[in-house]
Amino acid sequence: MEKITSSQDDKWDSARRMVSDGLLSIIMPAFNLGTSITENILVVYSTFSGKIPFEIIVVDDGSSDNTLTEIEKAAAIHTNIKAVPLKRNMGKGAALKHGFEVSKGNYVLFLDADLDLPADQTWKLFERMKEKHVDIIIGSKHHHDSIVVSYPWHRKLVSIVYYWLVKMLMGFPVLDTQTGIKLFKREVLDFTFPRMLVKTFAFDIELLAIAHLKNYRFADSPVILNTHGKWPLINIATTLVVFLDTLAVFYRTKILHYYQTIQDHNMPVPPPLVSIIVAYPSSTSYLDECLAGIAHQSYSNYEVILLPDEPSDRKWPSYAREIPTGRIRPAEKRNIGIKHAKGQIIALIDDDVFPLENWLMQAVVYFSDNKIAAVGGPASTPPTDPYMAWLSGKVYANRLVSGPYRYRYEPGIVQNIEDYPSCNLIVRSDVMQKLGGFRTDFWPGEDTYLCLDIIKKLKMRIIYDPRVEVHHHRRKLFLPHLRQIGRYAMHRGYFAKKFPETSRKLSYMLPSIFVLGVLIGALVSALLPSLRPIYFSALIAYVLTSLLSSFRPNPLSWLLIWLGVVTTHIVYGVRFIVGIFASKLPGEIQRFDHPSEIEKAK
Q: What is the pLDDT of residue 458?
A: 95
Q: Is it the case that residue 366 has pLDDT exceeding 60?
A: yes
Query: For residue 138, what are the β-bridge partners?
Result: 182, 220
434 CB-contact burial (10 Å; exposed 0-12 / middle 13-18 / buried 19+):
middle
Q: What is the pLDDT of residue 152?
A: 66
Does residue 149 sit in helix, strand or coil? strand
- What's the CA gap between 466 and 458, in Å, rounded? 24
Q: What is the pLDDT of residue 290?
A: 94
Q: Is it the case that residue 599 has pLDDT exceeding 50?
A: no
Q: What is the pLDDT of residue 203?
A: 85
Strands 302-307 and 274-279: parallel
Binned at pLDDT 50, 70 and 90, residue 351 comes out as very high
489 CB-contact burial (10 Å; exposed 0-12 / middle 13-18 / buried 19+):
buried
Chain CA centroid to CA 318, Å: 28
Rg of the chain over Cα atoms, rounded to whole angstroms, equals 27
Lowest mean pLDDT among 156-170, 295-309, 406-420, 512-526: 156-170
Domains within the chain, CATH numbers bracketed: 13-261 (3.90.550.10), 274-475 (3.90.550.10), 501-601 (no CATH)
User: 376-431: per-residue pLDDT in tens?
Assistant: 999 999 988 999 999 999 999 999 999 889 999 988 888 999 989 989 999 999 99
**Range from 205-214, 291-300, 388-397, 549-558 that averages highest in pLDDT:** 388-397
Lowest mean pLDDT among 24-33, 57-66, 437-446, 500-509: 437-446
Q: What average pLDDT score do residues 114-131 get?
A: 92
Which DSSP symbol is given to 475?
A: P
Higher-pLDDT residue of 27, 257: 27
Q: What is the pLDDT of residue 267?
A: 83
Binned at pLDDT 50, 70 and 90, residue 111 comes out as very high
Q: What is the pLDDT of residue 2?
A: 58
Q: Is it the case that residue 135 has pLDDT exceeding 80?
A: yes
Does residue 546 sit in helix, strand or coil? helix
Q: What average pLDDT score do residues 151-159 get?
A: 69
For the chain, percent helix, then strand, then coil, each to nearest 5?
50, 15, 35
Question: At residue 562, what is the residue type?
Answer: W
Contact, 445 vs 585, CB < 8 A? yes
Q: Is it the case that residue 592 has pLDDT exceeding 50?
A: no
Binned at pLDDT 50, 70 and 90, residue 232 comes out as low
- What's the CA gap between 313 and 305, in Å, rounded? 16
Q: What average pLDDT score do residues 70-86 get?
A: 93
Q: What is the pLDDT of residue 82?
A: 95
Does residue 380 sit in helix, strand or coil? strand
Please work out, in degrees rounded to the nearest 5, the angle formed at the alpha carbon of residue 416 by the alpha carbons of 550 and 390: 25
Strands 107-111 and 181-185: antiparallel
Question: At residue 299, what is the residue type?
Answer: Y
Q: Is the dihedral of CA 111, 115, 116, 121 positive or negative?
A: positive
* Residues in CB range of 206: below 8 A, 6 or more apart: 93, 196, 197, 198, 245, 249
User: 514-560: per-residue pLDDT in tens?
Assistant: 999 999 999 999 999 899 999 999 999 999 999 999 998 889 999 99
Chain CA centroid to CA 15, Å: 36
Q: What average pLDDT score do residues 299-322 get?
A: 93
Higher-pLDDT residue of 322, 259: 322
Q: What is the pLDDT of residue 226?
A: 77
Q: What is the pLDDT of residue 553?
A: 81
Which DSSP symbol is given to 21?
A: T
Binned at pLDDT 50, 70 and 90, residue 229 comes out as low
Peptide bond between residue 421 and the one before it cis (omega within 30 degrees of 0): no
Q: What is the pLDDT of residue 275?
A: 97
Q: What is the pLDDT of residue 150?
A: 65
Contact, 139 vs 176, CB < 8 A? yes
User: 268-277: per-residue pLDDT in tens?
Assistant: 888 999 999 9
Q: What average pLDDT score do residues 291-310 get?
A: 93
Binned at pLDDT 50, 70 and 90, residue 9 comes out as low
Q: How many other C-beta atoms are found inside a 10 Å radius of the C-beta of residue 26? A: 27
Q: What average pLDDT score do residues 228-234 get?
A: 56
Binned at pLDDT 50, 70 and 90, residue 287 comes out as very high
327 CB-contact burial (10 Å; exposed 0-12 / middle 13-18 / buried 19+):
exposed
Q: What is the mean pLDDT of the chain?
A: 87
In 199-343 the beta strands, taken as DSSP E runs, fall at 218-222, 224-226, 274-279, 302-307, 320-322
Contact, 233 vs 274, CB < 8 A? no
Q: What average pLDDT score do residues 214-236 get?
A: 76
Q: Is it the case that residue 361 has pLDDT exceeding 80?
A: yes
